[in-house]
């Protein structure tokens, strides 16, 4: 058991000593959950269901994302995305989404990269069903969630800026900054 822990300690230390770790922060608009709320409201109005006249605002259709990545090779990166969203459609709904990701850099130059990525994970619902409530309650509700960046462009080296066109919880249009560790 001691040998196993010692090997695990040295393996993790050497992993963090390796190059290729990065953290990114981004903002995305038109995320998947806000689309489902908007389409639900549209379907309700088509079928004559009375809904309060409250709109899904631009801020409530957005995601705030933090991602970690580790470059396995020049072309492939693995990591994860943590995404926060808020929907104000008559209910205060806060969600946290955790998704492991895989990223493929199909053009990887020193100063710029073009890429695609996919992430699959779980969305956890936080919040209350009563508008105006000041407390956040953790619900037992979870849902499957995904994100697929069909086209991403990143420019810079140690600090780089990026923009993405995709579909999913991190936003249809996303942009941010990435820091190499």
CATH of 19-180, one of 2.40.160.20, 1.10.10.10, 1.10.3720.10, 2.170.260.10: 2.40.160.20
pLDDT value at residue 62: 84
**HSE-up of 34 (CA within 13 Å, CB side)?**
24
- Of the two residues 9 and 76, the one the predictor is more confident about is 76
Least confident segment among 124-133, 156-165, 171-180: 124-133
Percent of the chain with pLDDT over 70: 67
DSSP sequence for 97-161? EEEEEEEEEEEE-SSEEEEEEEEEEEEEEEEESSTT-----EEEEEEEEEEEEEEEEEEESSEEE
pLDDT above 60 (res 53): no
**Domain residue ranges of the chain, discontinuous segments joined by +:** 19-180
**Residue 120, beta-bridge partner list:** 146
pLDDT value at residue 33: 73
pLDDT above 80 (res 133): no
- Tokens 């801020």 appear where? 59
pLDDT above 60 (res 138): no
For range 105-115, the mean pLDDT: 94
**Residue 138, beta-bridge partner list:** 126
Q: Residues 79-94: pLDDT tens digits?
A: 999 999 887 656 677 8
Do residues 119 and 91 make contact, with C-beta atoms less than 8 angstroms apart? Answer: no
For range 119-143, the mean pLDDT: 70
């Amino acid at each position: 058991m001691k040998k196993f822990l010692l090997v695990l300690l040295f393996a993790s230390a050497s992993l963090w000593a390796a190059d290729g770790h990065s953290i990114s922060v981004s903002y995305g608009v038109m995320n998947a959950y806000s689309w489902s709320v908007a389409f639900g409201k549209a379907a309700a109005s088509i079928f004559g269901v009375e809904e309060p006249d409250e709109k899904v605002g631009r801020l409530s259709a957005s995601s705030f994302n933090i991602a970690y990545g580790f470059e396995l090779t020049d072309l492939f990166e693995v990591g994860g995305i943590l995404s926060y969203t808020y929907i104000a459609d008559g209910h205060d709904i806060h969600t946290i989404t955790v998704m492991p990701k895989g990223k493929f850099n199909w053009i990887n130059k020193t100063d710029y990269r073009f890429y695609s990525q996919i992430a699959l994970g779980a969305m956890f619902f936080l919040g209350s069903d009563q508008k105006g409530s000041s407390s956040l309650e953790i619900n037992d509700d979870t849902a499957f969630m995904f994100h697929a960046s069909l086209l991403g462009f990143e420019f810079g080296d140690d600090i780089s800026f990026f923009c993405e066109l995709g579909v999913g919880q991190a936003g249809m249009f996303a942009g941010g900054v990435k820091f190499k560790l």
